[in-house]
Structures are given as C-alpha cells and as structure tokens.
Amino acid sequence: MSAVRKVGATPQAIQAHYDAGDAFFALFLDPTRTYSCALFNGDDDLDAAQRAKIDWHLDQSGVAADKRLLDIGCGWGALIERAVWARDAAHATGLTLSAAQAAHVASMGHARLEVRLEDWADHAPSAPYDAITSVGAFEHFAAAGLSRDVRVDAYRRFFTKCAAMLAPGGRLSIQTIAYPAAFDRAAYDATDYGAFVRERIFPESDLPTLPEILEAADSVFEPVIIRNDRRHYARTARIWRRRLRERRDEAVALVGQRRVDDLDRYFRTSAGAFDIGTLQLLRVAFQKRRA
C-alpha cells in the first residue's frame, strides 16, 4: 500500500459508499450513473447537465483524436466512454477503488477503454498520457483530523504523480467539493452533522480548500481556469433527493431504510450548504509546467 493512501480513504471506505449496488444508484442518478456535480445551462435537465460537465473536463484536459486519457476515480465510466466515442481518443484508462464500478466499466467491452481496480499512486502507465481528469476523487485523498501540512503534502504527491504521468504540455482537470479557505474544521467536526458525514456518508475522507490545492500543485502545474460552481451542486443534490424520494420504496428494498434516510439527509443538508457557500464545488484546469 502506498504512503499516500495511508492519509486518505482506504479501499474499504470507498467501497462502503459506492458499492451499494448499481440498481440502487440507477434510481436517482442519470443513465450514465454520473455521481458528481453537473454543469447546468439554463433549463437543462440532469442528463444534459451531466454531459455538459463531462465535456467541460474533456475540453479543459485537451482530449481529442489520438490522445491518451487517464481518469482517476472513473466511477461508472461515463467520462472515459464519452472520450472514446465522442472525441475519438486513442485510449482511455479509468482508475477506481470500487469493485462494482470496475465491473460495470469492464462490461462495456470497448477495445480502447481500460479500467483498473487500482490506487492512482500505484499506477504505472505503459506510456505517458496526454490528458488526466479526476472528478469527485480528490475529496478522498486526505482523512479527517490531519494537519494542514499533512493534507497539502498528500495533495502535492497527487499532483507530482500526475505530472510524471503526463507528456510535455499535458493538461489536468479536476473537480472537488471544497471548504472555504477560512473554514473552521474543528467546529464542524464537533457538530452532529459533521460526525454524521464523517461516519455515515464519506468515512475516512476530508475536503480540501482552494489555497491548499493551488499550493500543492504549484511546483508542477499552472492553474488555467478556476470555477466555483456551488449552486450547480445545490441544484444537482436537490434533483437526486427528489428522485430518491420518488422511488423510496424501491430504494429501501435494495439497501435498507437507514441508508436511504442517510442519503436523503445528506442531499437536503448539503444542498443548503452549497447555497450559502459553506461548501464549494471547484472545477480547476491545469497546464503542466515546463521542466
């Protein structure tokens, strides 16, 4: 096991959240099972907004014909699938720590798609990548209770690894939930809701701040675009909650009442937090610095 993984979520913690079963997630996600904040344009429905989000990351990371892409935390494979079908990427590799997600991506059976049940820190590509994306994985790179220096060091190792895997001129696009720079972690951890999220929703995980991300990336990447789309996540979470409530009986039959109630509470409360700015949704595009 890598040194980086010791300060982040273990595979068991990731699986505890994401391996609830494809049928359960299909009840409230879009058909691609994209489980991260969408990118809305006007009256877009969730399906269109999730495609727009994926296209934004493909655009910002420079995915095009004959390019090689790595997606760290690939979920159910929507981004890498769109890279090969819509952008004609030469090859797209997805990394996940969820066995259920890996099995789903493998079932696509596309010759230019590859999925690996593997930590990014352990990944050894056969050739450099032209583009790297990571959507919704950064939240799991540091556990709760760590000092700022330890968090930043873990994030720095991620960016250093990405730079080493990228060809000269390569680009990286990430998306993560984040705290505001002045967020009081200790006060949050002491609340009932803080404990609820830590123990029942995302165990062994913590959120970064934008200054931590930029500091960690600075030696190897230049930020090109920074967006805080927190209201897009509030809208996404409310759609997920409405869909889950509409199919509550099916959801309870699949995963039990406690898990359904937990997600309902999380979607409701986090939507409010994104509305008022106590949570942010960052999308950051980077250019690899010259050696």
CB atoms within 10 A of CB 201: 15
Distance of alpha carbon 140 from alpha carbon 4, whole angstroms: 11
The half-sphere exposure of 103 on its side-chain side, counting CA atoms within 13 A, is 8
- The amino acid at 32: T
Contact of 115 with 92, CB cutoff 8 Å: no
**Span 244-291, pLDDT tens digits:** 999 999 999 999 999 999 999 999 999 999 999 999 999 999 999 998
Strand bridging mode 280-288 / 166-178: antiparallel
3-class DSSP assignment, residue 134: strand
What is the C-alpha end-to-end distance of the chain, expressed in Å? Answer: 29
- Counting the structural domains of the chain, the total is 1
- The amino acid at 116: R
- Residue 145 φ/ψ region, left for φ over 0, alpha for ψ in the -120 to 50 degree band, beta for the rest: left
How wide is the angle at C-alpha 58 spanned by C-alphas 130 and 238, nearest 5°?
Answer: 145
Contact of 220 with 28, CB cutoff 8 Å: no
Q: Closest Cα to residue 78, out of 36, 124, 21, 40?
A: 36
| Burial (0-12, 13-18, 19+ Cβ within 10 Å), 269 | middle
Segments forming the whole domain that contains residue 180 = 4-287
**Span 144-162, pLDDT tens digits:** 889 999 999 999 999 999 9
Q: How confident is the model at residue 6 (pLDDT cuts 50, 70, 90)?
A: low
What CATH code is carried by the domain that includes residue 178? Answer: 3.40.50.150
Contact of 226 with 210, CB cutoff 8 Å: yes
**Span 37-63, pLDDT tens digits:** 999 999 999 999 999 999 999 999 999
pTM exceeding the 0.85 threshold for the entire prediction: yes
**Beta carbons within 8 Å of 63's beta carbon, 6+ residues apart:** 69, 83, 87, 89, 130, 131, 133
What's the mean pLDDT when you consider all of the chain?
92
